[in-house]
Structure 1
Amino acid sequence: MTASAHGPDPTGPRTPEPLGPDSLTWRWFGDWRGLLLAPWAGSMQNMHPGLGAGVAEHSRFFEERWERLFRSLYPIGGVVYDGPLAARTAREVRGYHAAISGVDAHGRPYHALNPGTFYWAHATFFMLTVQVAERFGGGLTEPQRHTLFDEHVRWYALYGLSMKPVPGSWGEFQRYWDHMCADVLEDNRPTRDVLSMRRIARPPLLRWLPSPLWALARVPLVRTTLWITVGLYPQTVRDRLGLRWTPHDERLLRLLGRSLHHAWRYVPERYRFHPRARAGWDRERGRPAPAPVETPARNLPPEERRGLPQHYVPRTGPRG
């Protein structure tokens, strides 16, 4: 944790330095393997009482699940990969949450920009990065975990919210994570909705696939995705949700992770990354690239909702 994150800066407030290609976060966060963890991240976020309430009352995520997922990757990824524009992207992401507030079914007020709530969402993205590297990327050393933690603090600081909820070290973060999983997270409807994928629609990129073929492909896809999700949960979360995980399951997941790690080496480097991340790498390597790359039209929300402040809709029209 830097001094500027935890205490006053004697030189006055400064815009935090965005992450760059020398960071471990750049190496892992925009990697397409992170999609394997999308239900894990979404359900872990929704188990937070305030975040789950906001999703339940303000989101239509489950009516356009794939579109919401794929368009969100652009601005969220931009906070990591947009370089000199990263702080602007972070302010835009923060702005999408400004109007999300209310009182949940238990009478508890919530607001998406409550620092503890917003940081929890960020913590899951940080842990997604750690999990991609640990489970599917060959593993991390202990110093690399500390480095990723320090980088996630710089990343979070770009949002301009209170740094009070941010743990002071990787060790403190582990205690924070364990406490949240054991004592704060709840089993609620938005979490169960994330895990309910039996009738999930085709992804936008597969709209050409005949419905009968998608119906056949969906069964193993859903089963494998849910199995991976359960395997990545902490045991306290599995217990809360009543989910079973055996030592045999764990061995199989480790085997899958090692196999994917070795197979991924044969994917050309540029195509291992989401377009927003790829544009960042291109910019740093001197290749011409639009800045920033925006979501294509197929991922946009329905026409009647595009003017709502909580939706990311590129002002200049979709690109990328």
Structure 2
Amino acid sequence: MSQDTSDACPATSEGAPGATGCPVTRGTYDAPPAALGPDSLTWKYFGDWRGLLQGPWAGSMQNMHPQLGAAVEEHSIFFMERLPRLLRSLYPIGGVVFDGERAPMTGAEVRDYHIPIKGVDAQGRRYSALNPDVFYWAHSTFFMGTILTAEHFGGGLTEDEKRQLFDEHVTWYRMYGMSMRPVPASWEEFKVYWDHMCRNVLENNYATREVLDLSTMPKHPSLQWIPDFLWSAYLKVLGPFAVWITVGLYDQPVRDLMGYSWSKRDERLHRLFGRSVNLAFKLLPTRRRMHPRARAGWDRATGRIPVDAPLVHTPSRNLPPVGERDNGIHYLGAACPVQKTQSA
């Protein structure tokens, strides 16, 4: 049975400021919303390098959604270029939080990459990346990923802090100009939503299993100097360890869905690993803990660089293959005309 796509963005001329493609439709904002700033908990917890530890968790959780998994399987080249895709995506995704007054434009940019992604999956179910339920599910994994990173690899969170992060994630989501219909009204309602998704909606599908299989992950372009046999040996160690970290972040219904066991010993070791990460992370200089897009946001907010300084974009080594750059679904760094406008 096809999921409802009635709130997906229709083709009209009403767009977000500076955006093309998918418009800001009924139920979204009439004017660009106020962006999050350095006084928010999201700025404190989102955008540091510890977030990479929950990367396979976020990717797999997103792909477990039937529509999103079908879209990745049929449209994405992620499995051909995992590391460049991951590393370049951090720039616009982080920009929706850290770009200040330009954050709504960055959100519209991210949203518009999803316009062509639609179709019918192998079971005859229609899917669209701009179905509000699908788009919000992806966003909810960024929000929960922030909470999990703070809980498992940071100093932990209180319930009041989780409520504040929930309220901030609503502000964050408004940057995309999407329908707010799927967004729960409170942190308590979100927990009910999340549990429902984990128990009743998510599925064990090809795209999810592939995210968790690192055995054939291609080398990043900057790592081509590593001999193939050493890379293969590295993946044999990294793969199971990354899956173990990921399984420790799953809710129990998701572990059951994917067929993973989790013992009390696993839980103790996972917590010990998380505490070790947090202690080691505190030894780094504050600015070096941050992704470049987040660091630039803090630098603008603290006066280190001008507030209208050009946005930081991914290095060219992370760009998609040349033959894939014209289909409109990829972030292209400073090479994209829209992004040049933002950076001006």
Q: TM-score range by the shorter chain?
A: over 0.9
Cα distance in 2 between the residues matched to 1:306 and 1:13: 32
Letter in 2 for 1:49: P
Determine if the alignment matches structure 1 residue 68 to structure 2 residue 100: no
Rate the CA distance shift 1:309–1:316 in 2: closer, same or farther, 3 A.
closer
Please list the CA deviations of residues 60-104 of structure 1 after superposition, one character each: whole Å capped at 9, or x if unmatched. 110111111111111111000100110000000000001110111
Letter in 2 for 1:236: P
Report the equivalent of 2:37.
Answer: 20
Cα distance in 1 between the residues matched to 2:200 and 2:115: 27
Cα distance in 1 between the residues matched to 2:82 and 2:241: 18
Report the equivalent of 1:271.
Answer: 288
Report the equivalent of 1:302.
Answer: 321
Describe the SS at the equivalent of 1:263: helix
Q: CA deviation at 1:15?
A: 1.8
Determine if the alignment matches structure 1 residue 209 to structure 2 residue 226: yes
Cα distance in 2 between the residues matched to 1:95 and 1:135: 33
Letter in 2 for 1:291: P
Please list the CA deviations of residues 276-296 of structure 1 after superposition, one character each: whole Å capped at 9, or x if unmatched. 111111111111274310011
Instruction: Give 2:109's match in structure 1, choosing from 59, 83, 92.
Output: 92
Describe the SS at the equivalent of 2:90: helix
Q: Which runs of 5+ in 1 are unaligned?
A: 1-6
Q: CA deviation at 1:55?
A: 0.6
Please list the CA deviations of residues 189-247 of structure 1 after superposition, one character each: whole Å capped at 9, or x if unmatched. 00011011112223344333333333333222222111000111111011011111111
Determine if the alignment matches structure 1 residue 106 to structure 2 residue 119: no
Describe the SS at the equivalent of 2:127: strand
Determine if the alignment matches structure 1 residue 314 to structure 2 residue 329: no
Cα distance in 1 between the residues matched to 2:27 and 2:120: 34
Cα distance in 2 between the residues matched to 1:137 and 1:248: 21
Letter in 2 for 1:67: P
Instruction: Indicate conservation of the 8 Å contact 1:279/1:291, yes or no.
Output: no
Determine if the alignment matches structure 1 residue 81 to structure 2 residue 108: no
Cα RMSD, aligned residues only: 1.9
Determine if the alignment matches structure 1 residue 33 to structure 2 residue 33: no
Cα distance in 2 between the residues matched to 1:106 and 1:28: 39
Rate the CA distance shift 1:270–1:315 in 2: closer, same or farther, 3 A.
closer
Rate the CA distance shift 1:199–1:53 in 2: closer, same or farther, 3 A.
same
Cα distance in 2 between the residues matched to 1:51 and 1:214: 30
Please list the CA deviations of residues 245-280 of structure 1 after superposition, one character each: whole Å capped at 9, or x if unmatched. 111000000011111111111011111111111111
Report the equivalent of 2:154.
Answer: 137
Alignment of 1:270-289 (within 5 A): 270-288=287-305
Cα distance in 2 between the residues matched to 1:283 and 1:304: 35
Instruction: Indicate conservation of the 8 Å contact 1:82/1:291, yes or no.
Output: no
Cα distance in 1 between the residues matched to 2:148 and 2:115: 29
Instruction: Indicate conservation of the 8 Å contact 1:51/1:117, yes or no.
Output: yes
Describe the SS at the equivalent of 1:102: strand
Please list the CA deviations of residues 122-176 of structure 1 after superposition, one character each: whole Å capped at 9, or x if unmatched. 0000000001100001100111000000000000011111101000000000000
Report the equivalent of 1:255.
Answer: 272
Alignment of 1:149-188 (within 5 A): 149-188=166-205
Report the equivalent of 1:236.
Answer: 253
Describe the SS at the equivalent of 1:146: helix
Report the equivalent of 1:120.
Answer: 137
Letter in 2 for 1:253: H
Instruction: Indicate conservation of the 8 Å contact 1:58/1:100, yes or no.
Output: yes
Cα distance in 2 between the residues matched to 1:58 and 1:171: 35
Cα distance in 1 between the residues matched to 2:303 and 2:230: 42
Describe the SS at the equivalent of 1:105: coil
Letter in 2 for 1:184: V
More displaced 10-residue stretch of structure 1: 81-90 or 281-290: 281-290
Give aligned-pair identity as a percent.
Answer: 58
Cα distance in 2 between the residues matched to 1:8 and 1:65: 35
TM score, norm. by length of structure 2: 0.87
Instruction: Indicate conservation of the 8 Å contact 1:24/1:147, yes or no.
Output: yes
Describe the SS at the equivalent of 1:187: coil
Aligned length: 311
Describe the SS at the equivalent of 1:113: coil
Report the equivalent of 1:220.
Answer: 237
Cα distance in 1 between the residues matched to 2:74 and 2:217: 21
Letter in 2 for 1:29: F
Cα distance in 1 between the residues matched to 2:325 and 2:80: 15
